[in-house]
Amino acid sequence: MTRDLATLQREMAELIRGGAPPSGDAYLAGVQQSAELKVLRECIAEWRELVLRRACPLTVELLRARGTFEPAVRRLLRRACPPFRHELALAFLAEVAADADPRLAQVAAFEAEMIRLHN
């Protein structure tokens, strides 16, 4: 191969998060422009939305009422996430618990604690 596996995987991860391919790399440039990558990103975002709706419905409802849930999930897509469902929810809630809105922050902290207690 023109690149080793570790490099290829780092580059693919970066593309999925919305990063740019190395300049002059025709294959990765093709992936970046592909309809498949667009669909894949949408699927990842929807799956994470579903996981979060189930894991922390109160926080999600508050965010949706403010119109900021979908953007928050898109932000989540752009950064690295832990692999398991509950870990994903806890990482998300930790971010929301730092929000400047005290009601939202408290609800997120409460739901994080409930997840820890339940598991």
Give the shortest CB-48-to-other proteins separation in angstroms.
Answer: 6
Q: Which of 23, 80, 100, 102 binds other proteins (CB under 8 A)?
A: 80
Phi, psi dihedrals of residue 32, rounded to the nearest 5°:
-60, -35
| C-beta of 7 vs 66, nearer to other proteins | 7
Where does this chain touch other proteins (CB under 8 A) — which range of 45-53, 64-72, 102-110?
A: 45-53
| C-beta of 81 vs 109, nearer to other proteins | 81
| Number of residues counted as binding other proteins (CB under 8 A) | 43
Spatial distance between the Cα atoms of 32 and 12, rounded to a whole number of angstroms: 9
Tokens linked to 31: 């992936």
Q: Which of 18, 19, 36, 65 binds other proteins (CB under 8 A)?
A: 36
Say which amino acid occupies 65: A
Return the residues of window 81-110 that contact other proteins according to CB under 8 A: 81-90
Spatial distance between the Cα atoms of 91 and 96, rounded to a whole number of angstroms: 9
Does residue 92 sit in helix, strand or coil? helix
Q: Kindly state whether residue 38 participates in binding other proteins, applying the rule CB under 8 A.
A: yes
Nearest to 80 by CA among 108, 44, 46: 44
Spatial distance between the Cα atoms of 106 and 13, rounded to a whole number of angstroms: 33
Contact mark string toward other proteins, 11..30, x via CB under 8 A? -xx--x---------xx--x
Q: Which of 19, 47, 57, 65 binds other proteins (CB under 8 A)?
A: 47
Output DSSP code: residue 83.
Answer: S
